[in-house]
Amino acid sequence: MGNKVDNNTDDKIRLDKWLWAARFYRTRALAKQAVESGKVHYQGTKTKCSRVVELHAKITIRQGTDEKTVLVQALSGSRRGAPEAALLYHETAQSEKARTDLAAGKKAMGQTTISQGKPTKKQRRDQQRFEQQQL
């Protein structure tokens, strides 16, 4: 079972397939939908899901309120385990810092990621107000 990650740069891997293989989305259909709706930017611009991914490309992925900026380290067209998928990309330091700051801001406002059931009307309004401030 030699290589765990495909390092062959001759292969042409579509953006939606790479996102699926890197485990950002559970299915290729969800990856395709995210790219088409503009939640994934390749090298800073919106793109099609058929875009060929290149090594060292910068991809920005927005999932909910989280936004990740990753650099492509390897190419793979097959979905493998999470430890192997993590070898396909490297998240930038600015992206990690922004996500931790956002999480700290949510925690300071009393919004935890673990839900205590259906939010109250006040909690919903507070969450919407917070998300509008972040944009």
Domains and CATH numbers, the chain: 1-91 (3.10.290.10), 93-135 (no CATH)
Banded model confidence at residue 132, pLDDT cuts 50, 70, 90? confident
Cα separation values, 20 from 15, 34, 64, 114, Å: 9, 11, 17, 26
Q: How much of the chain exceeds pLDDT 70, in percent? A: 88
pLDDT digits (tens, 9 = 90+) for 86-130: 999 999 999 999 888 888 888 888 755 566 788 899 999 999 999
How much is the average pLDDT of 27-47?
95
pLDDT digits (tens, 9 = 90+) for 45-96: 999 999 999 999 999 999 988 899 999 999 998 999 999 999 999 999 999 9
Residue type present at position 79: R
Helices (H), the chain: 15-21, 28-36, 82-85, 93-108, 121-134
Q: 89 in helix, strand or coil? A: strand
